[in-house]
Amino acid sequence: MIRSFTLVRQTAPEKLDRLASLLRALGFEEGAGWQDEHSRGAPFLAPVGSLELVAGRAPASPDILIEVSDLDVAHQLARKHLPESTGEIEDTHWKSRVFSLELASNLHVGFWAFNEPFKSRPKATEGDLDGRGMRFGIVVSRWNSFITERLLQGAIDALRRSSVHSSDIHIVRVPGSFEIPSAARSLAGTGTVDAIITLGCLIRGETTHYEHIATEVTRGIGQSAQETGIPHTYGVLTCEDLEQAIDRAGLKSGNKGHEAAISAIEMVSLKKKLKRGAGDGA
Ligand code: DLZ
């Protein structure tokens, strides 16, 4: 009989977009927004919801409790987007931790996670971030080098911090993003690298046939990975404008080259563990 329930709260128009980007970052699915001459609405959906009644000691006071898989990451995101409204993480009396976020003056949300959430789940095999002895190829495009050099710096920094020796990093430069897949394919074919990190920057406003190039580059990199069995990670920025590109090529945080390098280390480690046998306590 019941199909869904919705909690509606009003917020200041100038705050709506900020809140929406936080909720998106936290992993809410964006519902169909609406707009009329008086207002606009932005629904955000969670996979599971419930209405819970408690007799005796109440679990927490916020209007709504949202369970997340990683409380510390959720807290960092909330701090980044709404520092003035994010509380500290605290222990609860129900073997979990929680922090509060004031999304609107009449909407207090408690984000929480059990202390040992996955105890009853089967063990998973995961790669780690120890890059010792691993060899990496980095294919980087010269087009938009103002950005791609920052991505390269981020990638090298991540590899070096994870104990990858500089002589085990092979950098290959190509003219533009379109050339990344074929260079990656050739490099993978040499058998001299354990993974390839691809770095480029496509800017919609400055690129004719942007969609086609972006699709082709993505497809080509994926195909090279599948054909060769060598992990390829994706550090090709697809941006609306230069400002967005600068944002994703940050010197300290938010550098896509750094992220792609970390993913490459994890994938090499995972591949090794899977080869040894997934049941070895990885
Ligand atoms: C031609 C072109 C254009 C217009 N824009 C970009 C871009 O934003 N980012 C990028 O990496 N490369 C661009 N290119 C170059 C193509 O990727 C390719 O190098 C050339 O078309 C030569 O094949």
What is the DSSP code (8-state) at residue 121?
S
Enumerate residues 6+ apart whose C-beta is below 8 A from 262.
Answer: 129, 158, 162
Which residues are bridge partners to 235 per DSSP? 199
Residue 214 CA to ligand 1 centre (angstroms): 10
Strands 107-114 and 136-141: unpaired
Confidence at 252, pLDDT banded by 50, 70, 90: low
| Parallel, antiparallel or unpaired: strands 34-35 and 40-41 | antiparallel
Distance CA 220, CA 180 (A): 8
Q: Classify the C-alpha dihedral 239-242-243-246 as positive or negative.
A: positive
Rounded to 5 degrees, what angle do the CA atoms 51, 55, 56 make?
Answer: 135
State the burial class of residue 195 (Cβ atoms within 10 Å of its Cβ: 0-12, 13-18, 19+): buried
Residue 59 clears pLDDT 70, i.e. is over it: no
- Give the span between the Cα atoms of 262 and 272, in whole angstroms: 16
Can 212 be counted among the known catalytic residues? Answer: no
pTM of the predicted model over 0.75: no
Of 131 and 17, the structure prediction assigns the larger pLDDT to: 131
CATH superfamily of 13-114: 2,3-Dihydroxybiphenyl 1,2-Dioxygenase, domain 1 (3.10.180.10)
What gap in Å lies between CA 203 and CA 210, rounded to an integer? 8
Length of the chain: 282
Q: What is the mean pLDDT of residues 168-176?
A: 98
Domain ranges of the chain: 13-114, 136-275
Nearest CA to ligand 1 atom 7: 202
Lowest-pLDDT choice from 49-53, 134-138, 176-180, 272-276: 49-53
Query: What is the reported pLDDT for 29?
Result: 80
Ligand 1 centre to CA of 159 (Å) is: 27
Weakest mean pLDDT among 142-146, 163-167, 278-282: 278-282
Atom 19 of ligand 1, nearest CA residue:
176
Percentage of residues of the chain with pLDDT beyond 90: 61
Q: Which helix (H) or strand (E) holds 21?
A: helix 13-25
Q: How far is the CA of 88 from the centre of ligand 1 (A)?
A: 46
| Pair of tokens at residue 122 | 């089967």
* Residue written as token pair 């972006």: 214
Give yes or no for residue 70 having a pLDDT over 50. Answer: yes
Q: Looking at the predicted structure, is the pLDDT value of residue 205 above 60?
A: yes
Is the model more confident about 136 or about 94? 136
Q: Which helix (H) or strand (E) element contains residue 202?
A: strand 195-203
- Reported as type and span, the H/E element at residue 11 is none
- Per-residue confidence at 282, pLDDT binned at 50, 70, 90? very low
Q: Among 147, 178, 210, 242, which residue has the most ligand 1 atoms within 8 Å of its CB, making it the best to mutate?
A: 178
Atom of ligand 1 nearest to the CA of 213: 17
Q: What percent of the chain has pLDDT over 70?
A: 93
**Position 281 confidence tier, pLDDT thresholds 50, 70, 90:** very low
d(CA 237, CA 218): 11
Asked if residue 206 has pLDDT above 50, the reply is yes
The model's confidence at residue 120, banded by pLDDT at 50, 70 and 90, is low
Ligand 1: residue whose CA is nearest its atom 4: 207
The rounded radius of gyration (Å) of the Cα atoms in the chain is: 23
Backbone φ, ψ for residue 37 (5° rounding): -70, -15
Find tokens 């080509």 and name the residue: 220
Residue with tokens 């497809």: 219
What's the CATH number of domain 136-275, 3.60.20.10, 3.40.50.300, 3.40.50.960, 3.30.365.10? 3.40.50.960
